[in-house]
Amino acid sequence: MDKIIIRGGNRLSGRIQISGAKNAALTLIPAALLTEEPLTLRNLPRLADVDTFGHLVNQLGVSTEIEGKRPEVFGRVMTLKAGRITSTEAPADINRKMRASILVLGPLLARMGHARVPLPGGCQIGARPIDLHLKAMEALGADIEIGAHFVTATAKDGLKGGLVKFPTVSVGATENALMAAVLAHGETIIENAAQEPEITDLAQCLIGMGAKISGVGTATLTIKGVTSLHGDTYSVMSDRIEAGSYACAAAITGGDVELVGAQPETFEAVIEKLRAAGVSIEPTEDGMRVRCDGDIQPLTIETQPFPDFPTDMQAQMMAMLTLAKGTSVLTETIFENRFMHAGELERMGAQVEVAGRTATVRGVDALNGAPVMATDLRASMSLIIAGLAARGETQVLRVHHLDRGYERLEEKLSAVGADIERASGD
């Protein structure tokens, strides 16, 4: 198994290209199931999760053609065509690798009236129930049967418009409900919908395919079902979490980095916290410039659904704050088991105390390189960030997590001055 070796202490300086958003891509791919015509997605990141989802829809009968296979090219163009869906059962082996596979439920039900989906897998960062997904399908007229390992949903006469009212905000359930509703008979209203930019990206893609959706970007979505959708060409939004991650990397090394293609409006809460920590953020013609003199101020952070601070940036921000001039407090409200990186940061000399859903980080003068173990995608990046600033050598093990969410990370960081390489594990 591969590992990443970092010899820390180098100041990052230069330009980093921000890739297409992983979380948006994994929502747009199943949208191809909603039409017989080709859907072409541009700016797809080269990630293990994207490849895995492509294999999943292949097994449902979707053909995929990929441009930009050359390794030196960032991003790819994928054309998906679901002219004939040959299976309405998502394969269990792929499902175990990623929880996003549940997102084929809504499109399959909407178009075929039947779907059988395994219970989801993915990062082990706490419970991720799918009950809201199922209740949304029931609100649209589906019959749900839950087995030991699979969920079977049926709508013999097609889905019907209705009221989907979420008791709590759920990104995935909102995406599933939205895709199901676009082909349902009549009008659907989704209340307490998640407002993440990736949902706006999905909605805009669906509108381009002929869907009738209003309220995009708000907590209330209104969808007037249509009988069919057509093909389209759509460019995936840039990855706001990748951009935030590299901003933290620039800050902790006292760097000066331009994030090319970053869309600041998609992660304003992160930018606000970075500025409060003493990091300079300025828009540029091509994205945004991040500068820091290394004097990082402590913060108080609480993760919340968009537009507030995202849970997917909590670990990276914690890594940066290990070198802050004071004590920071981070509260995780989304997932109950998302501080597993704290113990690994402590191996590098960080002072982190975890009590329930709150972590107290007391800034230290320096971190020291050490062998550390990645536990999930964002935790992996937090260890990379810490390693960039640490004295000596850091080895990050189990980096297959990183490959799920960061395109060509070593290449991007090397280009701005990091001493980083990938090596085969022992």
| Closest to 199 in 3D by CA, of 229, 169, 156 | 169
Examine the domain organization and report whether 264 and 189 are in the same domain: no
H or E element in which residue 213 lies? strand 212-214
Q: What's the CA angle centered on 62, arms 88 and 196, to 5 degrees? A: 85
DSSP state of 334: S
Residue 130 is labelled as binding a ligand: yes
pLDDT score recorded for residue 342: 96
Residues 195, 272 within the same domain: no
Query: Side-chain half-sphere of 104: how many Cα atoms within 13 Å?
Result: 35
The verdict on 289 and 342 lying in the same domain is yes
Q: Is 23 known to sit in a ligand binding site?
A: yes
Low-confidence ranges of the chain (pLDDT < 70): 68-74, 95-97, 120-128, 425-426
- Give the CATH number of the domain where residue 389 resides: 3.65.10.10
Residues 347 and 215 in one domain: no
Residue 43, annotated as binding a ligand: no
| Residues 406-422: tens digit of each pLDDT | 999 999 999 999 999 99
Closest CA to 246 of 13, 3, 1: 13
Are 230 and 247 contained in the same domain? no
Active site amino acids: 123
What pLDDT is recorded for position 70?
58
218 shares a domain with 131 = yes
CA 297, 300, 306, 310 dihedral sign is: positive
Of the residues 235, 266, 298, the one at which a domain ends:
235
What is the CB neighbour count within 10 angstroms for residue 219?
15
Closest CA to 181 of 31, 61, 28, 62: 31
- 359-389 tens-digit pLDDT: 999 999 999 999 999 988 999 999 999 999 9
Any known ligand binding at 334? Answer: yes
For the residues of 257-287, what is the DSSP string, one character each? EEEET--GGG-HHHHHHHHHTT-EEEE-SSE
- Is 80 annotated as contributing to ligand binding? no
Range of the domain at 378: 3-18+239-423
Residue 172, H or E segment: helix 171-181
Overall domain count for the chain: 2
pLDDT confidence of residue 126: 42
Q: Please compute Rg for the chain using Cα positions.
A: 21
